[in-house]
Amino acid sequence: MSIKPTLWISRKLPTAVVERAAKSFEVLQFEDDVPRSSETVIEMSGKAEGFLACNSEKFTADVVLQLDPRLKIIANYSVGYDHCDVPALTAHGITVTNTPEVLSEATAETAMLLLLGAARRAVEGDKLVRTGQWDSWSPSFMVGKQVSGARLGIVGMGRIGQVMARMARGFGMEIHYYNRSRLSPEKEQGAIYHSSVEDLLPTADFLSLHCPATAETTNLMSSERFALMPDGSVLVNTARGAVVDEQALMTALDSGKLAAAGLDVFQVEPGGNSKLAAYDNVFMLPHIGSATFETRNAMGFRALDNLEAFFSGKEPGDKVT
């Protein structure tokens, strides 16, 4: 009888995912569902060959140096892996995988929710009704920004960006995009390519960010770049909080350069930014872009696909480098 590899699952995952994991692995889990400290991560590396981890677990270079040689693979329950020092992990002989594709639809849905909510003043309207302050109507009451027929700029035309573009076409939006490389005509579907972010921004009545967080994209949306956008434009971010300079964002909102913003991600998570919470024209969600039952199951199954491939001696399909 073959011995199953041991797998540590760091957070509470859907029942179907855990049940499938138990068929291939000896599963270790804690009863509580909280972010795990570096000390816990290091300790568990001596008890399992594989981790099914989340972005709440940080694999910094310092942590990696202290990981036990028993650990061979970290299968991330996310498409983003900016919480992993991949070069350090690779040098330590640890494979890293992620879960692309399966969360594209759900995340793009969240981006459209934020776009519509920011444009049509959802925070203000909800507050008026909930607090009993809605006591009048006039033609100038709660007038927002129309989405239909507007120009949408997309930064990062990968899987999620392409789904966002497809959804936006349903509103008759004109799609403009910046990507590191231009898409094929079949993938562009009529979208207009811009060779730089600076060239894209003046066209963006709405701007939706779908790029990864890297050293190059940290504070991508700075004061200088906000200044390039049309007056009264709207920012949407479902990528990573690091790509937006939040102080510059507030300055742009204060000046009217931006009419509104829709944010699912923040520089500090969990918690967000208490200063942004004071803005009624900022529609905020607590990093739930992929939070549908279908997607959360699919993410777990994708991570298990990678783990099962690795422990059967195959190259995981979603290995990151």
Residues annotated as catalytic are: 240, 269, 287
Distances (CA, A) of 72 to 13, 91, 321: 21, 12, 15
B/e letters for 66-84, b = 16+ CB within 10 Å, e = fewer, are ebeeebbbbbbbbbbbbbb
Q: Which residues pair with 111 in a beta bridge?
A: none
Q: What is the biggest distance separating any 2 CA atoms in the chain, rounded to whole angstroms?
A: 76
The residues that bridge with 8 in the sheet, in sequence order, are: 28, 51
Sheet holding 233-237, edge to edge: 192-194, 174-178, 151-155, 206-209, 233-237, 258-263, 282-284
Residue 284 neighbours by CB under 8 Å, 6+ apart: 262, 263, 264, 272, 276, 277
